[in-house]
Amino acid sequence: MNTRFSIKSTVGSAPWIWSYAAAAVMALVTITFSRASGGLDLLTASMSFATFFALTGVAQLFVITLGPGNIDLSIPANINLSAAVAMQVMGGSDTMVLIGLLAAMAVGSLVGLGNYLLIALLKIPPIIATLASSFVVQSIAIAYAGGYRVQPPPGLKEFVRAKIGPVPLMALAAILITMCLAVLLHKTPFGRGITALGQNPTAARLANIAVERTRALTYALAATIAAFCGVLLAAFSGGSSLEMGNEYLLSSIAVVVIGGTAITGGRSFLSGVWGASFFLFLLITMLNALGASPGLRLMMMGIIICLVVFLASFRNAGIGQAVFAPLLKASRRPR
């Protein structure tokens, strides 16, 4: 009795565990289906691609934590613009990598502040404000990049492809950044302010939390993370393109929710974003291995993400609890 209770309460307070369970199951299924001997290759690939899902997810998580209605739909356009800026500033030269990266992140933070200003000053709901700003940002990207594809500097290209054993260096860097952001969210007054705001904005204001400053900084931070992700993505795929961010709109929201974070804000798990990103990548891989055509694949993706988010919305507890908890219950019944 006692052990069962403690397992239940542990998982209840850490719903992100389920996203890893789902990823593990998906990995087994994928390996079985592809009958691949290259388990290590799968690990390398999933870590590289999961990095992009995870970083956009982390960006989205910060905004979602702010509370009901908060969301950033400008992440794809922001990725497209920031990557284009970075590649142009770098101009293929290794000496300009840092400056290009900073330029991209500066662009990102401006996009984030713009989002906040639309929301706060014009009192537009975030879903509309960020969608509108994404059109503006995308238009700027088109005008700025003009359809050229600038190659990334060779050093940067090397970095994003580098591995320690089977583990990509880029993924390790992104995991390190996620850990720092977890400290920011859970262990600093700023992060506590975000979480408090997501639960009860009136109480947050009365507890002397600088509500508007917290909101503004959070939107800016999220957009900066997305811009950083855009630079890595451009380096990884051999130069920026104007559509490369587009697949990260739905996925950024999906990995947050699959990772056990409350879609209504105030309760967030950065670790879950990574588990969910692995799950999502493996899901796509499996669909590829099954030989699904691109159209079918996209359709399946849409259906599965909707289903997962729907299941995850039960008690804000992540996909796993919704799927596995009934099974666990059923397996216990004979006792």
Partner 1 sequence: MQTDKIRPVLLDLTGVDKSFGQVHALSGVSLSLHQGLCTGLVGHNGAGKSTLINVIAGFLPPSAGDVAFDGVGTLNLLSIDQRSALGIRCVLQELSLCPNLTVAENTQLLHRHLRGRGWRRKAADLIIAKLDDIFPGHGIAPHTELRRLPLGARQMVEIARAFTQTTTEVRLVILDEPTSSLDTQSSAQLLRYVRTFVEGGKNCLFVSHKMDEITSVTDEVVVLKDGRVVHQIETKDTSRAEIVSKMGSIDTDLRGASQKKTFGGKDSDGIALGLPAGPDIPPLSLRPGEVIGLAGLAGDGQTEALKSVLARYKRKCTFVAGDRATDGVFPLWSIKHNTSIGALHSLLSNGIIRSQSEAKLANDWKDKIGIRASGIDADLTSLSGGNQQKVLFARALASASDIVLMDDPTRGVDVGTKREIYQIIEAEAQTGRSFLWYSTEFDELTYCDRVLVFCQGKVAVVLEGAEINEQNVIAFSFGQKVSA
Binding residues (CB under 8 A) for partner 1: these are 183, 187-189, 192, 195-196, 199-200, 202-204, 206-209, 262, 266-267
Residue position matching structure tokens 């700023």: 190
Measured CA to CA in angstroms, residue 152 lies from 49, 90, 172, 220, 234 at distances of: 18, 7, 21, 25, 7
**What is the rounded CA–CA span in Å between residue 295 and residue 299?**
6
How many residues would you count in the chain?
A: 335
- 69 membership: H or E segment, kind and range: none
**What is the rounded CA–CA span in Å between residue 53 and residue 45?**
13
Residue position matching structure tokens 């960020």: 130
Burial of 309 by CB count in 10 Å (0-12 exposed, 13-18 middle, 19+ buried)? middle
Q: Pick between residue 32 and residue 200 the one whose CB is nearest to partner 1.
A: 200
| Closest CB 265 distance from partner 1, rounded Å | 9
| Closest CB 206 distance from partner 1, rounded Å | 4
| Closest CB 211 distance from partner 1, rounded Å | 12
Token readout for 26 is 């998906």
Q: Which residues face 225 on adjacent strands?
A: none
Q: Pick between residue 199 and residue 313 the one whose CB is nearest to partner 1.
A: 199
Q: Pick between residue 207 and residue 307 the one whose CB is nearest to partner 1.
A: 207
Could you tell me the sign of the dihedral formed by the alpha carbons of 204, 209, 215, 218, in that order? negative
What is the CB-side half-sphere exposure of residue 244 using CA atoms within 13 A?
A: 26
Q: Pick between residue 163 and residue 267 the one whose CB is nearest to partner 1.
A: 267
Residues 6+ apart with CB under 8 A from 231: 82, 83, 86, 100, 101, 104
Q: Pick between residue 76 and residue 272 the one whose CB is nearest to partner 1.
A: 272
| Closest CB 14 distance from partner 1, rounded Å | 13
Q: Pick between residue 158 and residue 212 the one whose CB is nearest to partner 1.
A: 212
Q: Pick between residue 129 and residue 197 the one whose CB is nearest to partner 1.
A: 197
| Closest CB 201 distance from partner 1, rounded Å | 10
**What is the rounded CA–CA span in Å between residue 332 and residue 193?**
41
| Closest CB 62 distance from partner 1, rounded Å | 16
Phi, psi of 163 (to 5 degrees): -135, 150
Measured CA to CA in angstroms, residue 119 lies from 115, 129, 182, 212, 315 at distances of: 6, 6, 26, 11, 29
Q: Pick between residue 208 and residue 293 the one whose CB is nearest to partner 1.
A: 208
| Closest CB 10 distance from partner 1, rounded Å | 12
| Closest CB 259 distance from partner 1, rounded Å | 16
